[in-house]
Chain A
């Protein structure tokens, strides 16, 4: 199960969990970590930072390459995961447990525009060709 049905996704390979209080938890997908390979460095956004939709707000670096992580919607950072910064390899072990940051959403309607699991699955398959 590499694309959990209960999560939302972005075309830039972030996963998004909508929490009960309406905040979002964000990470990168299993597919993204598979493309990047062994993670060696992760930098997450500071709490309180205002985020525009699509803004580069975290960096993941594997032995192979550096890659930006984008804010899935507009809002504000409220927490960053210090554990993934300390253990970047946790993203390779379980991409959906190793969240990068949590954020508040500026416009609740934006969340509905994120991809569901089926749409993301199609995107991954189309990129494979």
Chain B
């Protein structure tokens, strides 16, 4: 039995093509994935991301707990509502999950974790909570739905759908959140466009979704979510990194704080490890489509594509690949596709941000 979000019936009414997405019954598209992709780059798209789990951690020691739990430094969060992207590592320095942490007050932080890893994450956090004697309360918020409103017209659509929210959206900076009654409004996203992740009570979600559609928002499936995030150069857990890969070889060194003396899970392993690989952007020069697990040949040895797709914005195939160090942007590599070796160019990603191609 697949799990359903509070918007399941809404997707079906809209004629979505539903798929089994890691145990969740989710919309992959509502017609054309490519049209949906363009809508987010030029207008306003709505995504049901209620399969992801908001998690409230409360207690006096919550900041101390997160200092040890995650690789990024929560001491960067000093203003209420500020958000931080981080990996949560195991003792070997592998990535258990990537997550967003919102600082609300000194006894309350809110985390958002991936759907497929939610149970594993929660078990890990409870184990650390007990082991470190932190005495915190961890509350999974399955009573909340989460809707991502993304694109250059996102603010306009949200303002129109939710009277009073313009007071918040007028001043809310990227990677910040604010509470509005029972709602939680964060200026975050996974598309490379301006936009919001909004949490609402599950029972209110279908009504809110319809109001957003009346305000010009178009429903977007998880298919376009993947092409949008890849163009934006954002990692996908389980593809670009997992428990067996180091964040330092996954393009995530910027999220690992080694500057302070802070002791966090996985730090010793990371500092003892030798970094030999990098996550690089690729553009296919020949015709075809880059896909995950295709083999890469470079002058310094082999690598592998972790995420690949056809970029609707660039009209060519792009990928993230884990390749040896010492291969610089501008260099050519070979990709094995079926029985052929095709040419690809290494590039600095992101590929697309705010509707513009950066390559």
Q: Residues on A close to B: CB < 8 A? A: 37-38, 40-41, 43, 59, 61, 63-66, 92
A63 to B312, CA, bound (A): 9
- Those 7 A-B pairs whose CB atoms lie nearest each other, nearest first: A40-B310, A38-B34, A61-B289, A41-B289, A38-B33, A63-B33, A63-B310
**Which chain B positions have C-beta within 8 A of A66?**
289, 291
Residue of B nearest to A38 (CB): B34
Interchain CB contact under 8 A, A38 and B32? yes
Interchain CB contact under 8 A, A41 and B223? no
B289-328: CB near A (< 8 Å → 1, else 0) gives 1010000000000000000011010000100000000000
A61 to B28, CA, bound (A): 17
CB of B346, distance to nearest CB on chain A (Å): 21
Interchain CB contact under 8 A, B34 and A63? yes
Interchain CB contact under 8 A, B338 and A59? yes
Interchain CB contact under 8 A, B288 and A61? yes
Residues in B186-214 with C-beta less than 8 Å from chain A:
none
Chain A CB within 8 A of B29 CB: yes
A81 to B291, CA, bound (A): 25
A63 to B314, CA, bound (A): 13
B14-43: CB near A (< 8 Å → 1, else 0) gives 000000000000001100111000000000
**Which chain B positions have C-beta within 8 A of A92?**
32
Total residues of chain B contacting the partner, CB 8 A:
16
CB of B45, distance to nearest CB on chain A (Å): 15
**Contact pick for A40, options B28, B29, B289, CB 8 Å:** B289
Interchain CB contact under 8 A, A63 and B223? yes
CB of B269, distance to nearest CB on chain A (Å): 36
Chain A CB within 8 A of B73 CB: no
**Which chain B positions have C-beta within 8 A of A38?**
32-34
CB of A76, distance to nearest CB on chain B (Å): 20
Residues in B320-341 with C-beta less than 8 Å from chain A:
338
Can you list 30 A-B pairs with a CB-CB distance of less than 8 A?
A: A37-B28, A37-B29, A37-B32, A38-B32, A38-B33, A40-B34, A40-B289, A40-B310, A41-B287, A41-B288, A41-B289, A41-B310, A41-B317, A43-B287, A59-B338, A61-B288, A61-B289, A61-B310, A63-B33, A63-B34, A63-B223, A63-B227, A63-B309, A63-B310, A64-B28, A64-B33, A65-B291, A66-B289, A66-B291, A92-B32
**Which chain A positions have C-beta within 8 A of B338?**
59
A64 to B289, CA, bound (A): 10
**Which chain B positions have C-beta within 8 A of A37?**
28-29, 32-33, 223
**Which chain B positions have C-beta within 8 A of A41?**
287-289, 310, 317
Interchain CB contact under 8 A, B223 and A64? yes
A66 to B308, CA, bound (A): 12
Which of A40, A43, A92 has most chain B Cβ within 10 Å? A40
Residue of B nearest to A89 (CB): B34
Residue of A nearest to B312 (CB): A63
A65 to B291, CA, bound (A): 8
**Which chain A positions have C-beta within 8 A of B287?**
41, 43
**Which chain B positions have C-beta within 8 A of A40?**
34, 289, 310, 317
**Which chain A positions have C-beta within 8 A of B288?**
41, 43, 61
Which of A43, A64, A66 has most chain B Cβ within 10 Å? A64
**Which chain B positions have C-beta within 8 A of A64?**
28, 33, 223
A59 to B317, CA, bound (A): 16
